[in-house]
Amino acid sequence: MKIIVLCLLSLLCLFADSSSFQETRYLYALDKNVTLEGFITFGEQNIIIEYVKPESKVLTYFEEKLSIQDQNGYKVIDAQSMPSMNYFFMIIKAVHDENSVLLNSFFETKTEGDETLLTPKGVAAEVLEEVRITRQATKLKSLHVKIKNGDRITIEIRN
């Protein structure tokens, strides 16, 4: 099953927008940094994140459902039950698609040079502190997310 999923992901990369990345997470409760590497693929209706380091894991976000394939098997989670995860995917998709209408409905935006600061408003402010987007020309370079629980996520695009 894992081989089939990985083959399908490889084919999707040929037909969709894909980038390699490094993700660093700071877990406040554990006072620990975790670094992951992988690929992110944007389809028309979904986002696929394939982690390759430190261990293999595939996350597929589609219609507010998150499927997870890893060494423990396969499971599907309703992303609405995990607000920070739901916002994380919404932000990634909106930034990638340059969907300013969606971003402006959840954030106040302030752009200076290549950096955009998103300050959450409404329900987003209950979960998030801030989001910083850095672009190089028009291409996404990095995304920094500060979560109210003290966690932080930084994604740096490699290509």
pLDDT digits (tens, 9 = 90+) for 80-139: 788 777 778 888 888 888 888 988 888 999 999 999 999 999 888 988 899 999 988 878
Answer yes or no: is pLDDT of 13 > 50.
no
Report pLDDT for 11: 36
User: What's the number of CA atoms in the CB half-sphere (13 Å) around residue 134?
Assistant: 10
Report pLDDT for 50: 95
DSSP 4-30: HHHHHHHHHHHHSEEEEEEEEEEEGGG
More confident site: 11 or 38: 38
pLDDT digits (tens, 9 = 90+) for 27-86: 999 999 999 999 999 888 889 999 999 999 999 998 888 899 999 999 998 877 887 777
Report pLDDT for 94: 85
The whole-angstrom separation of Cα 76 and Cα 85 is 13
pLDDT band for position 142 (cuts 50, 70, 90): very high
Report pLDDT for 10: 40
CATH topology assigned to domain 2-157: outer membrane lipoprotein receptor (LolB), chain A (2.50.20)
